[in-house]
Amino acid sequence: MQARLLYRDGLMLVIDKPAGVAVHRGPKGGANLEDDFDALRFGLPRKPALAHRLDRDTAGCLVLGRHHKALEKLGLLFKQGKIGKTYWAIVVGGPAEAEGLIDKPLARLDAARGWWMKVEASGLPAKTGWRVCGRGQWRGAPIAWLELTPLTGRTHQLRVHCASEGWPILGDAIYGARAEVPLQLLARRVEVPLSKNQPPVVVEAPAPPHMLETLTACGFADERAPAPAA
């Protein structure tokens, strides 16, 4: 857990969440990140706690509050939409344009589906900005690398919005892009304005191993690779 630490100060931690692991224990139990938070106390009497959530299959920046007052502050910042969030996604096909905004309200699919969502005119407002970072081919089919900026925080918002546009996120078995790879979605960056007198804290997660093949196909250069010799 300490090896996945991306940022630490007196109020918060940011960890690099792995894909395929739930952030907290569900009704059926099973492996989850919270069980290992005791390793992140760093001298404090209590372990940190989640300031927000990421889907089980989403990788990347996960913010934790180190104590009660920190959690209150971070919770308010998230609720007010003051924390900037940027995601990377590999989508099937891709938009024709270079950038745009998806403005489609979302509602729960039905009572039996729990967290599954759908576009619904009577639902809650949901907006997602997007920009194409690269395009390519993967196993004979066109794909695109998108930077997604959620302007609201609805459940499964990015997954539903992309699917509704006709370019679902690769590996999304729920919303229409099942593939032989995990969900190609990364919480790439968070920007947290902790202090009024200081610039926001900006933290980035590296591209995870399970996305390197598709990202590279779209022109991404592995940031963890050593620089070539002079």
Active site residue: 35, 36, 55, 103, which one? 55
* Alpha-carbon dihedral angle through residues 37, 42, 44, 48, given to the nearest 10 degrees: -30
Question: ∠ at Cα 22 (186, 153), nearest 5°?
Answer: 55
- Quote the CA–CA distance of 65 and 20 in Å, as a whole number: 22
103 is catalytic: no
Cβ atoms 101, 81 nearer than 8 A:
no
**Cβ-proximal residues to 137 (8 Å cutoff; 6+ apart), any chain:** 143, 217
Residues with catalytic roles:
55
